[in-house]
Structure 1
Amino acid sequence: MSALSYQSPTSTSLFNGALGSNSRFSQISVSQKEMIKVFSQQSGGIMQGVCRLEKSFDSLFPLFRGLTSLGKPQSLTLTFSRESKSIFYTFSSDALPEVEYFFGRVLTLLQKEVKFKQVLKEVIENRNRFKSEQSLLRTALLAD
């Protein structure tokens, strides 16, 4: 994996490689838009880093924060920054597989949320379009 990689969340092994080297930067994308930037660095036996939501996805921060608070591995320490929509993390490098799995699950859920909102938006637009067409049809039929 190169120092800069574009990944699409498709499984719980999403973070494999993103956290597991001395210093790594990754961008996680959804629908060809950057969703999260991740930077990690190893210092001795400790991994530390930051996950930051991009501007177009910053409304997901409360959900991101809630999901990372649930089922979090004990070895993982999280600090949240509302201003920068970021989560700072540290954990023992021995816990890397467990933490990668955890973050992979969280990002998969965030991806599903984004897709759900996109589909819901389309459904609402289609319904509004149908109502408009129905109203025009009714007006045209009653006008004669």
Structure 2
Amino acid sequence: MSALSYQFSSLNNEVVSTEKNYSKIFQEVISQNDLVKFFCNNSGEIMQGMFQLESGGEKLFPLFRGLIGLGKPNSLELRYSIQEKSIFFTYQVVDQEEVDRFFTQVVLLLQKEVKFKGVLKEVIENQLRFRSEQSLLHRSLLVD
């Protein structure tokens, strides 16, 4: 029985190639993200594990749950714990590549969403600063 534990760290913009081994890609993606922790245990012919959102990422749980629910392989069984912000899963070892491919796509989408929200926040802050400066300039021109 082997136990695997991966910690996600920073965002990764790499395009996933379908020619690579998805287990390796999945491990790389997981090791580069600080949003989600992934634990997996091999029990003979069945893999068991969980995804858990780290502190700060709890607000993404509905999105994470929705992404995992979409296009889920039939071989993947899921249970959700809303209190723990975790998703528990089981699947057959023979389905590992399919499940790894699926989890890789979900994690990459989640990373893109986080990056998008960060960029959107910056754009909104810049617009607010611009409007504030424009207002100050306008007032200074009107006051003579």
Please, which runs of 5 or more residues in structure 2 have no aligned partner?
A: none
**Alpha carbons 1:27, 1:36 under 8 Å: kept:** no
Q: Deviations over 1:112-139 (max 9, x none)?
A: 1001000100000000000000000011
Percent identity among equivalent residues?
Answer: 49
Q: 1:28 to 1:50 in 2, by over 3 A?
A: farther
Matched, 1:16 2:16: no
TM-score, with length taken from structure 1: 0.83
**Alpha carbons 2:47, 2:91 under 8 Å: kept:** yes
**Matched residue SS, 1:47:** strand
**Alpha carbons 2:6, 2:37 under 8 Å: kept:** no
State the partner residue of 1:136: 136
- TM-superposed deviation, 1:56: 1.0
Matched, 1:123 2:123: yes
**Alpha carbons 2:53, 2:85 under 8 Å: kept:** yes
Name the amino acid aligned to 2:120.
L
Q: 1:6 to 1:91 in 2, by over 3 A?
A: same
- TM-superposed deviation, 1:18: 8.7
State the partner residue of 1:23: none
- TM-superposed deviation, 1:11: 4.6
Q: CA RMSD in A?
A: 2.5
- TM-superposed deviation, 1:58: 1.0
Q: 1:55 to 1:6 in 2, by over 3 A?
A: closer
Please, which runs of 5 or more residues in structure 1 have no aligned partner?
A: 21-25
Give the strand-richer structure, 1 or 2.
Answer: 1
Q: Deviations over 1:24-83 (max 9, x none)?
A: xx6541xxxx11000000001000001001111111110110111111001100001111
Q: 1:111 to 1:71 in 2, by over 3 A?
A: same
- Taking the TM superposition and a 5 Å limit, the aligned residue runs for 1:23-42 are 27-29=31-33, 34-42=34-42
